[in-house]
Amino acid sequence: MEQLHDTQGQPDRRGIAIDRVGVRGLRYPMQVRDKARTLQHTIATTTLTVDLPHQFKGTHMSRFVEVLNEFGPELHVDNVPDILRDLTHRLHSEKAHVTFDFPFFLEKKAPVTAAAGMMDYNVRFDASLENERVDFIVTVIVPVTTLCPCSKAISDRGAHNQRGHVTFSIRFKKPLWVEDLIALVEASASGELYSLLKRPDEKAVTERAYDHPVFVEDLVRNVAARAEREPNIAWYRVEAENFESIHNHNAYALIERSKDG
């Protein structure tokens, strides 16, 4: 085979290292463990990066895809540490980072009629390798219902409510089910969301929200209090954003804590 010129391997004389360089937006099939079916097949949008020392002009982008393919045709979450090690080895780097964003599906039954429907949640795995230490963060983005306590207290008829998103990220001591993280968040809100509701169910979820009003501040505190009681959570960050129904802005709150001091 003809020897082709390696432009990326040429020296760079500017003396500036790059913290992360790689590929982003690559979609790839993935397997994730779940409680109901043991394995769930999904499609992840991936980012794979490494550090680039100052003396190198560029990295070899094709090698990122080659590493993924070596673990294919379908990735498994258990392979993430090995992917990180392969990236540092193949690209002669000291640090590697991967992100997998994917939809996670749960079958949820309506609270009264038990009508079943599929709910999707956004999940993200962030993993880094530096000095042979792997750092792994799991994030779930959970849509919820919140009902305003102030509106309920001052209104003669009803109270305004809205849909919100809770972004809950953890570092863990022992792995936790994605379903359990979702359930923790949903229990902290005024109400859960469902894909299928009949009229008796709609009545039930509406009244449930009315009986459990929460400000955005209450929402993040509720999630944080539950995270504090979970012994396998070492660190957490919870963000809540309510898409306000009577304002032209959103309400937002964040709590971040390390339980190891």
0.95 surpassed by pTM: no
206 domain residue, yes or no: yes
Residues 149, 227: one domain? yes
CATH code, domain carrying 56: 3.10.270.10
126 part of a folded domain: no
pLDDT at position 139 is 98
E strand or H helix at 54, and its extent? none
Q: Tell me if 221 is assigned to some domain.
A: yes
End residue of a domain, out of 102, 126, 160: 102
In a domain, 122, yes or no: no
* 153 and 206 fall within a common domain: yes
Tell whether 139 and 98 lie within a shared domain: no
Q: Is residue 128 part of a domain?
A: no
95 inside domain: yes
168-227 pLDDT, tens per residue?
999 999 999 999 999 999 999 999 999 999 999 999 999 999 999 999 999 999 999 999
Same domain, 95 and 186: no
Strand pairing partners for 239? 167, 254
Strands 133-147, 161-172: pairing kind: antiparallel
CA distances from 97 to 79, 82, 117, 169, 189 (A): 14, 12, 35, 17, 33
pLDDT, residue 4, reads: 63
Same-domain status, 150 and 235: yes
Least confident interval from 9-18, 196-205, 206-215, 230-239: 9-18
Say yes or no to pLDDT of 2 above 70. Answer: no
Whether residue 36 is contained in a domain is answered as: yes
- 233 and 153 co-located in one domain: yes
Burial letters for 116-126: b for 16+ Cβ neighbours within 10 Å, e otherwise? eeebebebbbb
Q: What single-letter amino acid sits at 38?
A: T
Confidence (pLDDT) at 10: 76
Q: Are residues 86 and 144 in the same domain?
A: no
- 22 and 88 inside one domain: yes
Task: Kindly list the distances between the CA atom of residue 162 and the CA atoms of 147, 148, 159, 200, 214, in Å, as whole numbers in the listed order.
Answer: 7, 8, 10, 20, 11
Q: Is residue 123 part of a domain?
A: no
The count of domains in the chain is 2
Same structural domain for residues 81 and 140? Answer: no
* Residues 145 and 97 reside in one and the same domain: no
What pLDDT score does 209 carry?
Answer: 96
Would you tell me the crossing angle of helices 80-90 and 61-70 to the nearest 10 degrees?
140
* Domain end point (choices 102, 125, 156): 102
Q: Tokens in use for 12?
A: 């760079």
Does 156 lie in the same domain as 56?
no
What is the span of the domain harbouring residue 176?
Answer: 110-117+134-261
Do 79 and 171 belong to one domain?
no
Tens of pLDDT, residues 118-170: 999 999 999 999 998 999 999 999 999 999 999 999 999 989 999 999 999 99
User: What is the chain's mean pLDDT, rounded?
Assistant: 93
List pLDDT tens digits, range 73-111.
888 888 999 999 999 999 989 999 999 999 999 999 999
**What was the pLDDT predicted at 104?**
96
